[in-house]
Amino acid sequence: MTSEQPGRAPLPHSFEALRGRKMESVLLLRPDLTKQEIREKIWDFMEAQNLADFPRPVHHRIPNFKGSYQACKCIKELEGFARMRELKVDPDKPLEGVRLIALQARKTLLVPTPRLRTGLFNKIVPPPAATKDILRKCATSQGVKDYSVPIDLDSKVLVDLVVVGSVAVSEKGWRIGKGEGYADMEYAMMVSMGAVREDTPVITIVHDCQVVDISEELLGDHDLTVDYIFTPTRMIRTNCKRPKPQGILWTKISYEMMEQIPILKNLHFREKQAGKDVTLRDQQFDLSERKNKQAIITGTAPKTPRREAESAPVEDVDSRTDGLTLKTEMAVATTVYVGNIPQDARVSHLKRVLRERNAVPWRLNWQGLQHRAFLDYKDKVTAEAIVSSLKGLTLGGHTLCVELAKKQRIKRSGNE
Of 10-24, 277-291, 325-339, which gets the smallest average pLDDT? 10-24
Q: Which amino acid is at 115?
A: R
Mean of the pLDDT values across residues 131-152?
90
* Residues 240 and 326 both lie in one domain: no
* Residues 227 and 88 both lie in one domain: yes
Q: 281-304: per-residue pLDDT in tens?
A: 777 555 555 555 555 455 555 554
pLDDT value at position 151? 84
Of 1-5, 83-87, 369-373, 378-382, which gets the smallest average pLDDT? 1-5
Q: What band does 316 get if pLDDT is binned at 50, 70 and 90?
A: very low
Could you say which of 197, 217, 247 is where a domain stops? 247
Contacts of 241 (CB under 8 A, 6+ apart): none
pLDDT value at position 252? 83
The DSSP bridge pattern shows strands 401-404 and 168-169 to be unpaired
* Residues 208 and 318 both lie in one domain: no
Number of C-beta neighbours around residue 399 at 10 A: 11
User: What 3-state class would DSSP assign to 48?
Assistant: helix
pLDDT value at position 21? 43
Distances, alpha carbon 123 to alpha carbons 128, 142, 159, 165, 385, in Å: 15, 14, 12, 18, 49
Range of the domain at 371: 313-404
* 8 A C-beta contact, residue 150 and residue 263: no
* Residues 242 and 338 both lie in one domain: no
pLDDT value at position 14? 44
Average pLDDT over the chain reads 80
* Residues 241 and 359 both lie in one domain: no
Of 304, 396, 317, 405, nearest to 361 by C-alpha is 405
More confident residue, 44 or 2: 44
More confident residue, 296 or 264: 264
pLDDT value at position 117? 73
Could you say which of 218, 247, 276 is where a domain stops? 247
pLDDT at 106 over 60: yes
Q: What band does 64 get if pLDDT is binned at 50, 70 and 90?
A: very high
Residue 156 resides in a domain:
yes
> How many domains does the chain fold into?
2
pTM, two decimals, is: 0.66
pLDDT value at position 299? 54
pLDDT value at position 222? 87
Q: 158-206: per-residue pLDDT in tens?
A: 999 999 999 999 999 999 999 888 889 899 989 988 899 989 999 999 9
pLDDT at 15 over 50: no
Number of C-beta neighbours around residue 140 at 10 A: 16
Mean of the pLDDT values across residues 103-113?
93
Number of C-beta neighbours around residue 354 at 10 A: 19
pLDDT value at position 4? 36
pLDDT at 255 over 90: no
Q: What band does 370 get if pLDDT is binned at 50, 70 and 90?
A: confident
Q: Which CATH number characterizes residue 382's domain?
A: 3.30.70.330
The DSSP bridge pattern shows strands 394-395 and 235-237 to be unpaired
